[in-house]
Structure 1
Amino acid sequence: MSLPVRRLALAAAAAVLATALGSTPAFPAADGPRTGAADGPRSRAADGPWTTAWTASPQRPSSSFQKNWSQEGFRDHTLRQTVRVTAPGGQLRIRLSNRYGTSSLHITAATVARPGTGPAEVSGSARPVTFHGRASASIPVGGDLAGDPVALPVDRLGEVTVTLYLRDRTGSATFHDQAYATSYLADGDHTTDTGGAAFTRTSASLYYLTDVEVRGSAGTAPPARRGTVAAFGDSITDGFGSTTDADNRWPDELAENLAATGAPRPVLNAGIGGNLLVHDTAWFGDSAWSRFERDVLDKPGVSTVVLLGGLNDIGYSEIDLPTYKPDPDVSVQELIEVERDLIRRAHRRGIEVVGGTLLPMKGAEYYNATSADKIRKLNHWIRTSGAYDAVADFNSAMADPNDPERLDPAYDSGDHKHPNDAGYAAMAREVQRTPLI
């Protein structure tokens, strides 16, 4: 079934209403003691605007393809997660989400620190995180919450460890499934435990943490030449097939390349593995069309989006999960209508959009004559329509020289669809060639 303009308009209105309802203010827990005001309101105006330095798009709890803690949630647990930021700052703040929770989420205590090895922290680097001046906070179902500013300077491409103590039962957890980074769990309260020995359980997903934002000066780090680049897409953007804890996804590689050239820009990864342009799914997140504002356009500092999507719409549909039956009833024209709408919405915010062509996937589980034809037609439109401000031709850059329908074996992670680390590095170079980067 196609997605006519009328449906887009109606759904846009619904999305605005849903966003308004889903952004219920989260108030600090009444029993949390107020702390000192060193990072309080008086310092905020002088330090300039916030820039999102790292992000992970939130998802509904699910079993998905890998073991995770999202459905069981937490009770009397300490959760420790480490992320790499792509912008420097003298202050940082974290954002937490209970968007898909089933009960109020109580954060008993939180800290940020510089990471050591594994779950360990650099001794003396931990700083408490407060919420409206209190040490603890509750986030209602559907809500999000930003911590207060913390004076912990971070460098571009530096790492931050976020530790959350969750004393009360959380219920199911809002999370990001395919993180390709290790999270650690300990029983009891270990927010001040820098050694990390108590963190005996691990997961390859992220929980509650959706953003790290920075502002102010961080030593002599060069300023960004232009605004933030947001990578928006599915598992190929999320980094499926890359090495865990190595930061080898293509947005990571792009951030490193730009920093090395002396023209750094923050780069965000707003990919979700399995994500569809058109349909919401229980396993693979809200559709790209419905999450675009929340996960990209509303992020402080974003000026360029790299959009890569549609391969999953061609390969499977919601009712086919998890069997991946090929040939879902999603037309190329429907994908084009959605991409045009995303471009229009970005342009209304003054944001440029780079269109990424779909990668070759001959040999993958849902490759056949129908899907191959759709890939060719959608890529032709991306290259020739002029709808995008620039084009990153991933298809040409990643194709096997002897068979353009197939991924170059040097770039293939083994499933004939997702790149390996070398392939993601090649994708970053292709994006970097575009005039908008």
Structure 2
Amino acid sequence: MTSTVAPPLRRPRTAVATVFFVVGVLLGTWFTRVPELRTALGLDFAELGAVLLCQTVGVLLAMQVAGHLSAHLDTRTVLRWTAAILPWCPVLVTATSGPLAAAAAMLGWGLLAGLLDVAMNAQGVELERAGGRPFLSSLHAVWGAGALAGSLGSLGAIRAGLSLGTHFFLVAVVLCALALAAGRHALAARPGPRKPVGLLSGWTRAVLVLGALGAAAALCEGAISSWSGVFLREQRGAAVEVASLGYFVFVLAQTATRVFGDRAHRTFGPVASLRWSMAATVAGVLVSVLSPDPWVGLAGFAVQGCGLAVVIPVVSGAVGHGAGGNTSLAIARYSTLHQAGVLAGPALFGWLAQTWGIGVALALLVVPLAVIAALAGATAREG
């Protein structure tokens, strides 16, 4: 795939892909070792939940700040420095003492992560504009590969007996070096228009519709990621080792599909790609729900990963390309709604599972999937 990219774009594309990989490794490393965090910091379950929530609050706040920042700094500057600082956030969290300090560190992490998320996706859109072809799906595939690499690296660190602080420090050194080296080669996209950016700026009809698509996809991803293992264990009687594969096969299938997502986007267009993907996802949901065999259910989650793979890259690209003069502002507004879906997914699914059972809750995911298929026309580009 790289050989087909015009030479002037190879370096910036590699640079942006490296930052996606850095973020993926960081999150894969973090999520794998979160279970040890409570003990290491001496937190109870409620305190741990509050500390983790502060990161999401920081991300949502950063989405609002990013719109204002876009009028003063180009995305390359934001991307380079936030990507270099971000890997040190887990180190800071593990060095804190008490829930308040940990919460403050997580809030700071969320602020940086939110700014970086907007800059990364804005850079992806700029690459697509410069190259005249989709790139976002492959960039998100690199993110997934990084998350898997970070998870595997954490398993190795646990086996080696590395403490949280030592492990996070070593990862931070490597990722910071990668981010600094790669960030300077990103595209020098100009800042957005230098005009006041208010709280209501950028909330166009297109952003709201595409934000609803992103929120629906994030809701499904969050529900499947958080509850697939529970479903296999509780409803299908799978062994713990098999049930734990639910999330892994979902992410693995999603990442592998994103490698080919840009080609599908070019061949079929964004609207058809989304609608066929939603059909595949619904099929995966039905396979998981209707089959009593845990291994067949596992295959169903893999199909769901394949189906949901292209949604976020396609929708993010549509937001950026339809933004007019301020790509970062549009992506920031869209990302606010997307993050709302991230927050709502596991909690809403949990309520449905408690009320009607996990199987029914999983089957009800066809509703947001149908919404995505129905509103897919919003991703079509003019001209």
Give the alignment's TM-score, normalised by structure 1.
0.26
Structure with larger RCO (C-alpha < 8 A, sep 6+): 2
Task: From the two aligned structures, give the one with the greater strand fraction.
Answer: 1
TM-score, length of structure 2 as denominator length: 0.28
Structure showing greater radius of gyration is 1
Higher normalized helix content (fraction of residues): 2
